[in-house]
Amino acid sequence: MGSADPASRYAAAGVDRSRAAEAVARVAELAASTWLPPVMAGIGPFAAVWRLPANLPPEAVLVSSTDSVGTKTKLAVALGSHRGIGRDIVNHCVNDVLTTGAEPLFFLDYFATGRIDPAVLSDLAEGMASACREAGCSLVGGETAEMPGVYGIGDYDLAGFLVGMTSARDLLGPALVRPGDLLLGLPSSGLHTNGFSLVRHLVAELDLDLGAIAPGTERPLGELLLEPHRSYLDPVRQIRRLGGLHALAHITGGGIVENLPRVLDDSLAARVDRSTWSVPGVFSALQGWGGVSDEEMWRTFNMGVGMVCLLAPEAAAAAQAALGDDCFLMGEVAERSGPDRVVLS
Amino acid sequence: MGSADPASRYAAAGVDRSRAAEAVARVAELAASTWLPPVMAGIGPFAAVWRLPANLPPEAVLVSSTDSVGTKTKLAVALGSHRGIGRDIVNHCVNDVLTTGAEPLFFLDYFATGRIDPAVLSDLAEGMASACREAGCSLVGGETAEMPGVYGIGDYDLAGFLVGMTSARDLLGPALVRPGDLLLGLPSSGLHTNGFSLVRHLVAELDLDLGAIAPGTERPLGELLLEPHRSYLDPVRQIRRLGGLHALAHITGGGIVENLPRVLDDSLAARVDRSTWSVPGVFSALQGWGGVSDEEMWRTFNMGVGMVCLLAPEAAAAAQAALGDDCFLMGEVAERSGPDRVVLS
C-alpha cells in the first residue's frame, strides 16, 4: 500500500493500471482532502506515516479496530449506489473505537473486487473521505486488490481499519459498570451494516420491490436499507463531557441481545424495556413480509438502537437534556439472577 | 471486531456461531500467544487497546500499512495448504512498514469467506500467530466475515493491517537517496504474494502438475509457489545497526521495475545488473512453460529479489560482511539521463 504516492496504491495488487488510473487519481485526491497536520505525506510510499502529538495524554493507549460492511455491498451493487457504503465502513470503525472512549486518528481501507470499476471506487472513496473528514480522521492509505476468480466481476468487499487514541485512565468498559447503571439508547439510522444476509434472502424469496415504499415508512425500501451507518462521535463526546459514562455497546451483528453482554461482566444483566422507543418501520415491514420470529429479529437487527450508553444513574438526566430527542432511556443494569444476560420486556 | 472477547470476533459479521465456535476458540488462543505486555486485554471488546511505551522515541511516528495476499489464496485452496498464507499476510505488512525503518507493534487481520471452515481459519491463524511472534508483533484483533454470495463456499480473502513505530528523525526514504548509493538485494523466498493471477492462468492453460518437480528446482511446483513471503526484519535490523541505510524498496507487484522508483526521486535512476544474482528456477520454469516475455516476467515477479536496500557506498561492505550469502550487490543509483527510472542490464 502507499498513500503518499497515489500510483503505489495499486502496486501490490497487480492491477491493470491504465484502467484504474482514473480511479487512482480521484481516490488519492479524496484521501488527501482528509489529511490533518500529523500526516507526513511523501515519506514512505510503502506505508503511511502519522506523527504522534508532542503532548500525549497520560498513559496514552492506541485503540484499533477492523470491520467490513458485509453483504450490504451486494445490495449496493444491485442498486448502483456506493457512496453510503464508504460512509458505512468508516463510521462502523469509528463507533467500535469510540466504545473505549478513544478519538479516531487515522483510517486505512481494503477494497477487493473482481474487476475495478473506477466509478464504484470513486463513489466509495467519496463516502469514506466525507465520513473521515467529519470524524477528524485522516484516510492515510489503502489497498486495492483486483482478484478475478475470487470476486465476481461487479462484486466487491470493503474492509476498514481505524486507529484511535485515549488515556488508559479514561478507558470505558465493563470494569466501570455497576448495578443500577442506566441504559441510554442512541437511535440507529437504519440497519447499519448488519442483517443483510437475511435481508437479501427476504428480498429474493419474496421478490420485494426495492423501489416501493414499505408500510410504516416514507422512503423507497432500497433507500432505507442502504441508509449509511451513522457515527456516534458527536453525541458520545457530549455525554462524556458531562461525566458518568461507564461503557458503550455498539449494536452490530447479534443485535442488542448479543452486544450488550460484551460490556457486562458475568454477574450483571441488562433489563431492556422495549416500550421505551419505537422500532422503525423498516424493521416491522421486513418482519411482517417475511414472517420472521421476534427472536430472530432481535438477534439479527439493531431494531432502532445503534449504540447503548451505560451511565451512572445520576448522569442520565443531564445526558438526556443535552441530546434531546436523539436518545431514550431504555433500561438498566441489575445483578444477574438467571441465565439471561439481557432481559427484554 | 474484538480480540479481548473471543466470541465477539464474530459478532459483527453475523456468523453462525455454533459452526464457528471451534475455530473462534483456537484463533483466540493463537492470538493471545502473540501478546506482548503493552496489550491491555479485556478492556474494550469492540476494539483492541495497546499501551504506548512511557519512553517514546523522540518525534515518534506511527507507520501503518494494509495488504492482502491476493489470488495466492486460490492456489492455497486448491492445494489445501493455508498456514503459509497466514505467514504471507503478516510478513508482507511487516516488510512494508519496515521500509520506513519502523518496527512492528501490532497487527489485525480481516478474513472473509463464503462459509467458515474451522480448519482453514485455524491454519491461517497459526501462520499469522507464528509470524507475529517472530516479528515481536501482537495480533490484537481481527474481523471474520461470512459472506455467502460474495465469496464461493471454499474461497476466501485475507487482508492485514499493521502499525509500527519509529522516530521521524530516523525515517528512511527517497529524501536520503543520493547518486552513487549502492543497491543491496535481499533474496526472496519465492514468489511472495505477487504474480498469482498469471501463475493461475499458466497452471490452468498448460495443465501444469503442481505435484511435479520443475526443471532447475528441487521441490514440487505447488510447494515452491506457496512458499511463504519471508520477513526482512532481521537482516534490515542488522544493516540499520551498521549505518548508511537510506531507503528500502519492497519488491511486490510490479517487480523491481515498478517498486524501485518508489524510493527514487525524479532526478535519479537505478542501474540493475542482472548478472549479480541467479534468478531462482521456479521463475525460469514458469517463463519457459508459458513462453512469457522477459518484460512481463520482470514486471510481474520479484525474480529472486524481495527487498532492495539503498545504501551509502561506504556502508555496503560492512552490510555484506554481516549478511554473507543472504545479500548481493545488484547495482547503483545514478543521475537519471533518459526516460527509464530503472535500467536493467
CB contact under 8 A, A67 and B142: no
For chain A, which residues make up each domain, given as ranges?
A: 6-170, 174-344
CA distance B202 to A321: 66
> Collapsing DSSP states into helix, strand and coil, what is residue A40?
coil
Which of A107, A143, A176, A266 best tests the B interface by mutation, with the highest count of B CBs <10 A?
A143
What percentage of chain A carries pLDDT values higher than 90? 78
**Strand arrangement, sheet containing A268-272:** A245-250, A305-311, A182-187, A328-335, A268-272, A342-344
C-alpha cell at B111: 478474513
Mean pLDDT of B315-326: 95
Q: Which residue type is seen at B134?
A: E
Lookup: cell for A40: 507526513
Q: Which residue has the cell 441510554?
A: A184
Residues of B with Cβ-Cβ distance to A308 under 8 angstroms: none
Residues in chain A within 8 Å Cβ distance of B1: 65-67, 96
0.80 cut: is pTM over it?
yes
Report the residue of chain B nearest A43, measured CA to CA.
B173
Say yes or no for a CB contact (<8 Å) between B65 and A148: no
**pLDDT tens by residue, A142-156:** 988 888 888 888 899
Give the integer Cα–Cα distance in Å for A153 and A171. 43
CA A43 centroid distance within chain:
30
Fold of domain A6-170: 60s Ribosomal Protein L30; Chain: A; (3.30.1330)
- What is the per-residue pLDDT for B163? 97
Cα–Cα dist A306/A234, whole Å: 14
Question: What pairs with residue B66 in β-bridges?
Answer: B161
Whole-number mean pLDDT of chain B?
90
Which residues on chain B are in Cβ contact (under 8 Å) with A59?
51
Q: pLDDT for B51-88, tens place per residue? A: 999 889 999 999 999 999 999 999 999 999 999 999 99
Of A40, A62, A145, Cβ closest to residue B61: A40
pLDDT digits (tens, 9 = 90+) for B179-190: 999 999 999 999
Averaged pLDDT for residues B159-177: 95
Residues with Cβ within 8 Å of A33's Cβ and at least 6 positions away in sequence, in order, are A129, A133
* A27, pLDDT greater than 90: no
Rounded to a whole number of angstroms, the distance from the CA of B332 to the nearest CA of chain A is 20
- Per CATH, the number for B174-344 is 3.90.650.10
Q: Would you state the pLDDT for residue A42?
A: 40
Q: Quick check: B7 and B17 in contact, CB under 8 A?
A: yes
Strand partners, A299: none
Average pLDDT, chain A: 90
pLDDT at position B2 = 35
What's the pLDDT at B162? 97
Mutation target to probe the B interface, by most B beta carbons within 10 A, among A40, A43, A65 is A65
For β-strands B138-146 and B103-113, DSSP reports them as: parallel
Q: Are B62 and A7 in contact (CB under 8 A)?
A: no
Write the pLDDT tens digit of every residue in A325-340: 999 999 999 999 999 9
Chain A neighbors of B141, CB-CB under 8 A: 64-66
B71 CB-near residues (< 8 Å, 6+ apart): A147, A148, A149, A150, B196, B197, B200
Of A18-22, A99-103, B52-56, the range with the lowest mean pLDDT is A18-22
Please judge whether A141 and B66 are an interchain contact, meaning their C-beta atoms are less than 8 angstroms apart.
yes
What contacts A12, CB < 8 A, 6 or more positions away? A1, A143, B67, B70, B92, B193, B194, B252, B253
- Look at chain A and count its residues: 345
Contacts of B318 (CB under 8 A, 6+ apart): B242, B244
3 state SS for chain B:
CCCCCHHHHHHHHCCCHHHHHHHHHHHHHHHHCCCCCCECCCCCCCCEEEECCCCCCCCEEEEEEEEECCCHHHHHHHHCCCHHHHHHHHHHHHHHHHCCCCEEEEEEEEEEECCCCHHHHHHHHHHHHHHHHHHCCEEEEEEEEECECCECCCCEEEEEEEEEEEEHHHCCCHHHCCCCCEEEEEECCCCCCCCHHHHHHHHHHHCCCCCCECCCCCCEHHHHHHCCCCCCHHHHHHHHHHCCEEEEEECCCCHHHHHHHHHCCCCEEEEECHHHCCCCHHHHHHHHHHCCCHHHHHHHCCCCEEEEEEECHHHHHHHHHHHHHHCEEEEEEEECCCCCCEEEC
**The pLDDT value given to residue B149:** 82
Q: Nearest Cβ partner of B61 from A51, A95, A143?
A: A51
- Looking at CA atoms only, how far is residue B171 from chain A in angstroms? 8
| Helix, strand or coil, per DSSP, at residue A207 | coil
Planar angle of CA A208, A214, A217, nearest 5 degrees? 150
Is there a contact between A230 and A91 (Cβ–Cβ < 8 Å)? yes
Higher per-residue confidence, B41 vs B171: B171
Residue B280 has pLDDT above 80, yes or no: yes
Between the alpha carbon of residue A83 and those of residues A121, A131, B202, the distances in Å are 9, 10, 37
pLDDT tens-place string over residues A204-235: 889 999 999 988 899 999 999 999 999 999 99
Asked if B100 contacts A44 with a C-beta cutoff of 8 angstroms, the reply is yes
- Taking CB atoms and an 8 Å limit, are A200 and B300 in contact across chains? no
Q: With CB atoms and an 8 Å threshold, state whether A112 touches B68.
A: yes
Q: Per residue in B10-31, pLDDT tens?
A: 333 444 556 666 777 788 889 9
Chain B nearest CA to A327, separation (Å): 21
pLDDT at B291: 92
Q: What does the angle CA A280 – CA A281 – CA A285 come to, to the nearest 5 degrees?
A: 135
Please report the pLDDT score of residue B16 as a whole number: 54
Q: Which residue of A has its CA nearest to B251?
A: A12
Nearest-by-Cβ selection for B150 from A5, A73, A174: A73
Determine, for residues B71 and A108 on separate chains, whether the beta-carbon distance falls below 8 Å.
Answer: no
Q: C-alpha B177: how far from its chain's center?
A: 23
Residue among B48, B95, B250 whose CB faces A64 most closely: B48
The region of weakest confidence among A21-35, B122-136, B183-197 is A21-35
- B73–A262 CB contact, under 8 Å: no
Mean pLDDT of A277-282: 96
Identify the three-state secondary structure at position A244. coil
| CB-closest option in B105, B108, B174 to A161 | B108
Q: Between A and B, how many residue pairs show a Cβ–Cβ distance under 8 A?
A: 289
Residue type, B268: L
**B187 contacts B304 by C-beta, under 8 angstroms:** yes
Are A158 and A68 in contact by the 8 Å Cβ rule? The answer is yes
* Per-residue b or e along A21-39, where b marks 16 or more CB atoms closer than 10 Å to that residue's CB: eebbebbbebbbebbeebb
Give A226's contacts (C-beta < 8 A, 6+ positions apart): A72, A75, A76, A79, A81, A84, A85, A190
CA B222 to chain centre: 19
Nearest beta carbon to residue A157 from set B99, B112, B173? B112
* Nearest beta carbon to residue A155 from set B12, B150, B173: B150
What gap in Å lies between CA A250 and CA B181, rounded to an integer? 52
> Among residues of chain A, what percentage have pLDDT more than 70?
93
Q: What integer pLDDT is reported at residue A100 of this predicted model?
A: 95
| Percent over 70 (pLDDT), chain B | 93
CA distance A329 to chain B (A): 22
- Residues of B whose CB is below 8 A from A108: 64-66, 161
* ipTM score assigned to the predicted complex: 0.92
**Does A155 sit within 8 Å of B155, measured CB to CB?**
no
Query: Residue A198: its chain B contacts at CB < 8 A?
Result: 14
**DSSP for residue A80:** T
Residue of B nearest to A168 (CA): B51
- With a cut of 70, say whether residue B303 has pLDDT above it: yes
Mutation test of the interface with chain A: which of B16, B27, B68, B158, choosing the one with the most A Cβ atoms within 10 A? Answer: B68
Shortest distance, CA B138 to any CA of chain A (angstroms):
12
pLDDT > 70? residue A47: yes
pLDDT digits (tens, 9 = 90+) for B215-274: 889 999 999 999 999 999 999 999 999 999 999 999 998 999 999 999 999 999 999 999
pLDDT at B44 over 50: no
B39, B61, B65, B194, best to mutate vs chain A, most A CBs in 10 Å: B65
Q: Is the pLDDT score of B213 beyond 80? A: yes
Cell 500499512 -> residue? B65
Tell me how close the Cα of B337 comes to any Cα of chain A, in angstroms.
Answer: 23
Give the best residue of A150, A200, A341 to mutate against chain B (max B CB count within 10 A). A150
CB–CB of B68 and A13 under 8 A? yes
Chain A CB contacts of B103 below 8 Å: none
Å from B128 to nearest chain A CA? Answer: 16
Which of A43, A140, A198 is nearest residue B64 as measured by Cβ atoms?
A140
Do the beta carbons of residue A342 and residue A261 sit within 8 Å?
Answer: yes
Q: Summarize pLDDT for A237-253 with one digit per residue, the tens.
A: 999 999 999 999 999 98
